[in-house]
Amino acid sequence: MLNDLLKSISTIYVAYGATDFRKQILSLCAMVESKFKMSPYNKEAFIFCNQKRTSIRVLCYDKNGFILAQKTLLDQDKMKFQWPRNNGELKRITKEQLNWLLSGLKMYPDKHFKDIKIEKEKIAI
C-alpha cells in the first residue's frame, strides 16, 4: 500500500532518530517546517520512526490535504526497522532504498555491486 501511495511522490525523506508518535499531521508538518526548514506542501514524502523502531509513518501532501500512513510490525519482539539513530537529520532516499527499509534491510547496505559505465567500443570481443 505504501508503494501505491508513493507513486506520485517526487522525493522521499527519512527523519533520522526517533519521533514521538503522539504527534499527528499538524505536529509533523510543523516539525518538517521548523526543524528541517522544508515545506510539507510539495510532492515529497517524509518518513518517521518510533522509539522502538517497530512502526513507521509516512506524511505526504496530496492535492488538497495530507495523508498520514503507518506501518506497524506484528512481531515486535523479533522485528525492527533498520533505522538510523542520528537524531535531527533529514536524508533523501530512493524508492529502492524505501523498499529495502520496508523489507527489514538497511537503507545503505554495507556491500553491493557498483554500477559500471561501459562503452561498446571499449569492449574486447
Q: What is the pLDDT of residues 61-113, one digit of tens each?
A: 988 899 999 999 888 788 888 888 777 788 899 888 888 888 887 777 666 56
- At residue 7, the pLDDT reads 75
Give the DSSP letter of residue 34.
H
* Max avg pLDDT among 9-13, 45-49, 83-87: 45-49
- In 3D space, the residue among 90, 13, 23, 11 whose CA is nearest the CA of residue 50 turns out to be 23
As a whole number of angstroms, the distance between CA 86 and CA 57 comes to 18
- At residue 15, the pLDDT reads 92
Annotated domain spans of the chain:
2-109
**Cβ count near 40 (within 10 Å):** 20
| Percentage, residues of the chain above pLDDT 70 | 87
